[in-house]
Amino acid sequence: MAKRGRGRPIIETLTEPQKRLLLAIETYISRHGMSPTMRELAEELEHGVASVFKQVERLERNGYVSRVAGKSRSLTVIRSANDESLIGLVTIPLVGTVVAGHPLMAQENLLGELLVDASTVRSGRHFALRVSGQSMINAGISSGDVVIVRQQPLADHRDIVVALLNDEATVKRLHYRSGEVSLLPENPNFKPIPVGPDDDLRIIGKVVAVRAGSG
């Protein structure tokens, strides 16, 4: 076994129940784009919640997962069940809505946390937002998908952005032409949205990745 600098040693060999639990956590994250709750793990493995909680604590002590106390969807996989190599996953907030004049990361606006590869969010502050509607399907974004967004007040021509237009949030492609600004859908069934001089357009961030929805 390999030892940490201080404290408990990391156990390199997983027991079969621990491996099944770790695989269940990884599979859930892969399918849903967020970490499972203890109850969801218990239902998946057909174990009691208390039993799953104790097993998660063992995985945490041995350096396979980390979690934030008091948060139901905060499990982060540090070491994979398959190859036990260190993997770079970090959590970003999953927000419910984007509303003008309302703090984006206010506690009441957070649905949970999303695990993403650290290379996706190398610089800047990021958040995740679940998409509703089919206006961006030709850009690979369907209803129920989760977009990963880097917070920034400016964006370039053709960037896909999360924007507030007259206090209404939308995910669209930003388009500049001859001094005119519009928000373009990626679906021929939807019309472009022109932005006039009296409109209030605010860029919340740029979409940097997309996670497929669970259904």
User: In the block, which residue shows the tokens 């969801």?
Assistant: 40
The 3-class SS string of the chain reads: CEECCCCCEECCCCCHHHHHHHHHHHHHHHHHCCCCCHHHHHHHHCCCHHHHHHHHHHHHHCCCEECCCCCCCCCEECECCCCCCECCEEEEEEECCCCCCCCCCCHHHEEEEEEEEHHHHCCCCEEEEECCCCCCHHHCCCCCCEEEEEECCCCCCCCEEEEEECCEEEEEEEEEECCEEEEECCCCCCCCEEECCCCCEEEEEEEEEEECCCC
Q: Residue 66's beta-bridge partner residues?
A: 76
**Catalytic residue flag (residue 172):** yes
Amino acid at 139: A
Q: What is the dihedral of CA 1, 27, 148, 208, to 10 degrees?
A: 80
Q: Which of 156, 146, 83 is nearest to 120 (CA)?
A: 146
Q: Tokens for 213? A: 């929805």
Query: Of 35, 74, 135, 206, which one is the catalytic site residue?
Result: 135
Q: Of 35, 74, 172, 206, which is the active-site residue? A: 172
51 is catalytic: no
- Which are the catalytic amino acids? 135, 172
